[in-house]
Structure 1
Amino acid sequence: MAPARTPGSTAARKGRLSRELVLAKALELVDAEGLDALTMRRLGQELGRDPMSLYRYAENRAALLDGVTELVLNQLSIQPKDPDWKAQLRHIAHSLRSLALQHPNVVPLLVTRPLSTPLGMRPLGTLRPLEQILSLLIEAGFAPPDALHVYRAYYGFLYGHILNELQEFVVDPEENEALLRLGLHRLPPREFPRLRSLGPDLATYDGSAELDQGLSILLSGLESQLSVHAG
């Protein structure tokens, strides 16, 4: 009788491990089951390896989380030499949104992980988007301190939008317009007239269009600021 196959036994026969393979499996696990599922023991099971062998690729779970963050952000395409800085910022925004929708369980890492690590000690892959966007803005004519302010405002808006959009799906992905409007109609009319009247708009949320509208407001303001400084 053939021996029973264990989780990850196929992966174990594919040759030697690499950091790329370990992180790819870690991301796959997070995508499927969430951040809490990512432990050295569980990852070792998925790879068909002794968990102790993984420490040569990530010294601890925190390093694994950093590596997963880098792996996702490395997929973000940024062209810092693009002369059309507004089009590039719009492209980056939609790319980040797309990555967030593909890997919603990683979003908490993108938003909160940097808070636990001083800027200069963060993994280089997590700092590269910052460096590239600063270069893009400075090449466009922003003074370096202004470019940093723009980056902060830009990413603050992006992460806020992404968290809001993910909530639209996480709270109740099966909710339809009729149920939503029924729920809003339970609100006291005198206290929530605006919210009640926006029922149809709230029920037909379009994340991509919402992002574009917010970007148009943000980018037009940034452009006017740049014009003032140029003048």
Structure 2
Amino acid sequence: MTVPPAKRGNSRSGNSRTDGATSGRGEGPVTRAAVLDAALAIIDSDGVDGLSMRRLADAVGRDPMVIYRHVPNKAAVLDGVAEIVFAQLSVDPTDSDWVAQLRAVARDFRGLALAHPKVVPLLVTRPLATPLGLRPTSVVRPLEDMLALLTLAGFAGADALHIYRALFGFLYGHVLNELQEIVERPDETDEVLRLGLHRLPIAEFPLLRELAPVLAAYDGAVELERGLDILLTGLAATLPGPG
């Protein structure tokens, strides 16, 4: 179940209901979906710090007051961006192979992270700023569907929730670690990494220096699969449920 992340841009149309707002510099109605698409494009390009309400209004071609009719402040914009990215993540609750389905979800989440690396901090932090019952349905949907998948497989509800938390805790940590080099240290090549490690005092860091080739050859996809092997095998072995 690999669903490629949808390509988003400064779209002026969407499936959301319009409110007939036509004032400002542009023509035609503005939708919340179009505003959030424009915000996502800005964050993809320049990060969260590059987003402002005025810049968002310019991207949509409207006066800022028109934007405020759809999103009251920047915090609401950030929540909305996390919402539309999470909406691209789906779980098949009817899959008879729960392990394979969780692997597919993990791969899809990593794909979304690689497609929107500067949005990942929002995916990790923004939902936590809102009580679970008040979060958008697109953010809560993966949890509901995963609980359905796991209870169908035979896990008790509390154990299914534990699996969900363990999986996404692992995924958040994995993608943040993998994207650290892409976003924060894009110029650190394998050669630079090796050189830096070999400058460490060998008497103090013998193991880290020895692992320089392994660290330089980091492969996010391979690391994800290895981590899933450990996590899912351990969960299946320790929790009462299937088998």
TM > 0.5: yes
**Residue from 138, 144, 150 that aligns with 2:157:** 144
Partner of 2:61: 48
* Equivalent residue letter for 1:32: S
SS at match of 2:72: coil
State yes or no: 1:221 paired with 2:230: no
CA deviations on 1:8-58 (whole Å, 9 max, x unpaired) are 8x9976632112111111111111111122222211111110111122222
Query: In proportion to residue count, which structure has more helix?
Result: 1
Q: CA deviation at 1:125?
A: 1.5
Partner of 1:179: 192
Counterpart Cα distance in 1 of 2:242 and 2:105: 25
Counterpart Cα distance in 1 of 2:209 and 2:86: 39
Partner of 1:82: 95
* Structure 2: runs of 5 or more not aligned: 1-9, 14-24
Partner of 2:37: 24
Deviates more, 1:133-142 or 1:53-62: 53-62
Q: TM-score, normalization: structure 2?
A: 0.85
Partner of 1:208: 221
Counterpart Cα distance in 2 of 1:77 and 1:229: 23
Alignment of 1:115-194 (within 5 A): 115-194=128-207
Q: CA deviation at 1:73?
A: 0.8
Q: TM-score, normalization: structure 1?
A: 0.89
Partner of 1:37: 50
Partner of 2:105: 92
Counterpart Cα distance in 2 of 1:63 and 1:123: 12
Q: Say if 1:84 and 1:185 are closer, same or farther in 2 by CA, change over 3 A.
A: same
Q: Are the counterparts in 1 of residues 34 and 60 from structure 2 also a CA contact under 8 Å?
A: no
Counterpart Cα distance in 1 of 2:161 and 2:30: 39
Deviates more, 1:55-64 or 1:43-52: 55-64
Q: Say if 1:66 and 1:200 are closer, same or farther in 2 by CA, change over 3 A.
A: same
Please report the RMSD computed on the Cα atoms of aligned residues, expressed in angstroms. Answer: 2.0
Q: CA deviation at 1:77?
A: 2.5
* Structure 1: runs of 5 or more not aligned: 1-7
* Equivalent residue letter for 1:165: E
Counterpart Cα distance in 1 of 2:27 and 2:141: 31
Counterpart Cα distance in 2 of 1:210 and 1:14: 49
Q: Are the counterparts in 1 of residues 153 and 242 from structure 2 also a CA contact under 8 Å?
A: no
Partner of 2:121: 108
Counterpart Cα distance in 2 of 1:211 and 1:112: 21
CA deviations on 1:144-170 (whole Å, 9 max, x unpaired) are 011111111110000000000011223
Deviates more, 1:103-112 or 1:33-42: 33-42
State yes or no: 1:197 paired with 2:210: yes
Counterpart Cα distance in 1 of 2:227 and 2:80: 31
Q: Say if 1:41 and 1:179 are closer, same or farther in 2 by CA, change over 3 A.
A: closer
Q: Are the counterparts in 1 of residues 94 and 149 from structure 2 also a CA contact under 8 Å?
A: yes
Q: CA deviation at 1:82?
A: 0.8
* Equivalent residue letter for 1:164: N
